[in-house]
Amino acid sequence: MIAFAGISPELWVLGYDLLVIATLLVLALRRRETSTLYGWALAIVFLPFLGMALFFLIGLNRVPRRLQRRRRHAEVFASRMPEKSPRAVGLEERRAATGWRSLPLLAEHLGAPPMREGNAIEFFDDGREVFRRIFQDIANAKHHIHLEKYIFRSDHLGVALIDLLIERCRAGVEVRVLIDALGALGTSKQLRRLREAGGRTARFLPLFAGLNRFAPNLRNHRKIVICDGKLGFVGGLNVGDEYLGRRFRDRAWYDAHLRIEGPAVADLQRVFVEDWDFAYGEMLSEPAFFPERGDLGHERLQIVASGPDLNQHANRSLYFTAASLAREHLRIASPYVVPDAGTRDALVHAAMRGVSVTLLTQGWPPDKRLPYRCARFYFEELLAAGVRIYEYLPGMMHAKMLVADLAWASVGTSNLDPRSFRLNFEVDATSDSPSFAARVAARFDAALREAREIDTASFASRPLRHRLGERFAHLFAPLL
């Protein structure tokens, strides 16, 4: 046999086999669902070199060690918000809680701060109204402005926001902007303008930052705005004209966003400063960033952050538990519906128990076709179990909401998919307050009136080409 580069073909084959075995061992040591492990194993074995390359590029999902720096803040914030603080629901009450009141305790065990009382909350589902209020609050900020987004476009909205931030910098306000590195592509010029005016910017997990921080598949999907540590915004809106209905085929953009005043803002601030410390290397623990705030409203609120740096995925655990505890109604809004096996079983079993399970998602045309087709792969099983599925018609449905039995609700950045539950850094505002749940349910029901229910019989008779497309898209489910 002819040797290649002085090495016999037998040695090449042996070397390749050893490389495959080593890669499979690395795969076996990862904590993954069995179906995901099988998928990667098949790719590694039957796609020579390509499968291994893809696994180490987007499948390994190694959490950079520098993420451990985020832990430095835990003791600082624990000392600022002691267990007996009147703003936190009492420890004895939390430990004695049952039913829906036990979910906040579960979230605490998964790393969240306690449920906070005394918050005032405004609910928005129109991007224009949200940004009108954000611009107003930024213009009135006196000490600092913190902005964290997954996507920041250099379009009309993005430039206008940068202009306003530059103005506040020149007025002596501290401005910090943190954007996911993937979502920040194309914003270099605008961010440079902000830095030249005195603002500080950072990119979360840069795509080309060396092997010690190389994690292209782990993205920061959080959307946070904080002004003076006194008020904050959280929800599904990034910065871009499409969120105002200008770019997405000139169609309306439906989303869910909260404006919060009260003790829970400090917990939202905590999420930002931990991310900022990791990305920029600046620890913000001065009292000015966490001003004392009395009761400003009557809502209970718990800020739940989740991400691949945590051992437990809090958002998935809360969604799963909410579906398992539901007895009457379960409302879920998510533009991307790619539930893992456990979450899917929880939804199916809830419907089989007689719970009214309603799922609101985006319709045609979608913003991303692959997740849309993949979602429809799961619809047949969900519909057969009795889950009612609606597609939003006026435009893009981008809201992330869950309401269970009008007793517990969540609004934030988490989608019903593996990316949000396993790969992304997310943040959600949750509450066991019936009044908050009722407000979220009212918004959900209003959107539902503008949606079309998917008929089980019609869906079962969809064209073969659609079925084939759904099966193909399903192959990529672990990455969606």
Supply the residues annotated as catalytic. Answer: 221, 223, 228, 398, 400, 405
Could you tell me if 466 and 473 are in contact, meaning their C-beta atoms sit under 8 angstroms apart? Answer: no
DSSP state of 255: E
Burial tier of 5 (Cβ tally within 10 Å: 0-12, 13-18, 19+):
exposed
What is d(CA 74, CA 277) in angstroms, rounded to the nearest whole number?
Answer: 13
Q: Where are the beta strands (DSSP E) in 127-272?
A: 144-149, 174-180, 200-204, 224-227, 231-235, 252-261
Q: For residue 176, give the nearest of 283, 70, 295 by alpha carbon.
A: 283
Measured at the CA of 472, the angle between CA 315 and CA 415, to 5 degrees, comes to: 15
What is d(CA 271, CA 264) in angstroms, rounded to the nearest whole number?
Answer: 11
> For residues 441, 443, 444 and 450, what is the CA-based torsion angle, rounded to 10 degrees?
150
How many Å separate Cα 192 from the centre of its chain? 27
Handedness of CA 271, 277, 282, 285 (dihedral sign): positive
- Per-residue DSSP letters for 258-313? EEEESTHHHHHHHHHHHHHHHHH------GGGS------SSEEEEEEEE-TTSSS-
What is d(CA 157, CA 176) in angstroms, rounded to the nearest whole number?
Answer: 18
What is d(CA 99, CA 289) in angstroms, rounded to the nearest whole number?
Answer: 35
What is d(CA 69, CA 387) in angstroms, rounded to the nearest whole number?
Answer: 43
Could you tell me if 400 and 413 are in contact, meaning their C-beta atoms sit under 8 angstroms apart? Answer: yes
Handedness of CA 293, 297, 301, 307 (dihedral sign): negative
Could you tell me if 136 and 219 are in contact, meaning their C-beta atoms sit under 8 angstroms apart? Answer: no
Q: Which residues pair with 261 in a beta bridge?
A: 120, 231
Inter-axis angle of helices 156-170 and 188-196, to 10 degrees? 10
Could you tell me if 239 and 155 are in contact, meaning their C-beta atoms sit under 8 angstroms apart? Answer: no
